[in-house]
Amino acid sequence: MAKYTLYKQTNPEWKDVKMGKSNCSLGRFGCTTCSICMISSKFGAHLPPPVAAGKYVYTIDGLLDWSASDFSPLKFVARVRGYDEKRLKEWLKDSNNTAIINVKNRWIPFHWVAADRFSIIGLNGFDPIDGMPLRLKRKYEILGFALFSRRDN
């Protein structure tokens, strides 16, 4: 397993930080931002969520503008709706690739988590709600994913 810096979106140090020019805080709506910060750390970038919240581009409603944001050291490749396990497995086999996963469960209708890898028990990742490792399909229904690769230097 790669080394990750695990971030909790409700960390008291940054839970009230606003994302971009929106009125949305990291504590309530920062799962995407925290997940991207976690997967960036796989490549040695330790970008804390409050710094990313000022760097990434968001709509006034707090949604991430995927195409306008600079995710260095990552390059945004694609946003995939629906769960294509074969495509995601192939993508994550390359050590220069990574992803965040769009999920839901009965308590959380829309959420993002950081992907790590597939193991014999399924897809593993990290949840920014509690900053802990998880087996995704045990806790969530997978709705889609966003693919990133290491940006060429």
**Who has greater pLDDT, 61 or 1?**
61
Confidence class for position 153, pLDDT limits 50, 70, 90: very low
Name the amino acid, one letter, at 41: S
87 CB-near residues (< 8 Å, 6+ apart): 80
d(Cα 38, Cα 3) in Å, to the nearest integer?
10
Span 96-116, mean pLDDT?
A: 92
Tokens found for residue 42: 């796989």
Span 56-82, mean pLDDT?
A: 95
* Average pLDDT across the chain, whole number: 93
Confidence class for position 20, pLDDT limits 50, 70, 90: very high
Q: What is the pTM of this model?
A: 0.94
Torsion of the alpha carbons at 51, 96, 70 and 30, rounded to the nearest 10? -50
**Who has greater pLDDT, 109 or 127?**
127
Q: 102: which strand partners? A: 112, 144
d(Cα 51, Cα 19) in Å, to the nearest integer?
10
Q: What pLDDT, in 10s, does the model give residues 137-149?
A: 888 999 999 999 9
pLDDT of residue 107: 81
pLDDT of residue 38: 96
Q: What pLDDT, in 10s, does the model give residues 108-123?
A: 889 999 999 998 888 9
Torsion of the alpha carbons at 37, 78, 21 and 8, rounded to the nearest 10? -30
pLDDT of residue 2: 65
**Who has greater pLDDT, 144 or 152?**
144
